[in-house]
Amino acid sequence: MGVIRKFLAWLSVPVICLFAMVLYVARPFNPDNNRLLGWAVARVGRALLGMERPLEGRENIPTGRPTVVIANHQHNDDLFVIGDLLPPRTVTVGKSALVWVPFFGQVFWLGGNVILNRGRSHKAVAVMQATASAIAGDRKSLWVFPEGTRSRGRGLQKFKKGAFHAAVASGAPITMVCIQQYRDKAIGWRGRRESVAVRVLPPVETEGLTIGDIPELTARCHRQMAEAIATL
């Protein structure tokens, strides 16, 4: 049953994206499309997986001003765990290969999300600088997995600094979303997933900080998230 649940959950993603294409084409590059899509994908996915998602601190997600959201990244199923937590007008960061995923890649591009080529680091820096301008000028929020890759249950990995550069350059607060360590496995004869708790920490203000403050800011956020994850 667990395999069937997972198959149906991931089958629902391109199906939902196909229907969402109508919205994305009707108002292309509107970042609020991403919030609506994330909500639908996460709610349907969790229902199919039989997964509960206890949530603490939702009130800490700013809705009236831009923010840079950072979250720990463990498995692909994180999409179902936290996809419905995007603030209004949020764009996310993804690798260029995502553009070629049927239906999902097309809505990802039409959502105005940040596409990075990890093999060209100098261009990645330029993209993140442009993103900082969008946060400040277009009042967009940014969602980033600062570990850069999935940890697969190995604990919180070292953070890359791109999200912190964007936050400091724009003066936007950093919102930390902490996901409980969980296994990418089903439990019981019904194949339901174990409950995965999430805690949103109070925003960390960055206004007035400079590039020189980024190492300390990165280390502080990493420490706070590691401590929160350990208690979930």
Residue 123 has a pLDDT of 55
Tokens of 78: 């994180």
Four-way CATH pick for 2-231: 1.10.760, 1.10.3720, 3.40.1130, 3.40.50:
3.40.1130
Lowest mean pLDDT among 77-81, 149-153, 207-211, 225-229: 149-153
Share of the chain above pLDDT 70, in %: 92
Residue 2 has a pLDDT of 84
Tell me, yes or no, if the pTM score tops 0.85: yes
State yes or no: pLDDT of 130 exceeds 70. Answer: no
CA atoms in the 13 A half-sphere facing the CB of 181: 14
- In sequence order, the 6+-apart residues with CB closer than 8 A to the CB of 177 are 69, 70, 71, 72, 82, 85, 198, 199, 200, 201
pLDDT tens-digit map of 101-123? 889 989 999 998 877 765 555 55
Residue 213 has a pLDDT of 96
Residue 187 has a pLDDT of 81
Q: Are strands 198-200 and 174-179 parallel, antiparallel or unpaired?
A: antiparallel
Lowest mean pLDDT among 15-19, 121-125, 224-228: 121-125
Per domain, the residue ranges of the chain are 2-231
Tokens of 174: 């950093």
pLDDT tens-digit map of 20-71? 999 999 999 998 999 999 999 999 999 999 999 999 999 999 888 999 999 9
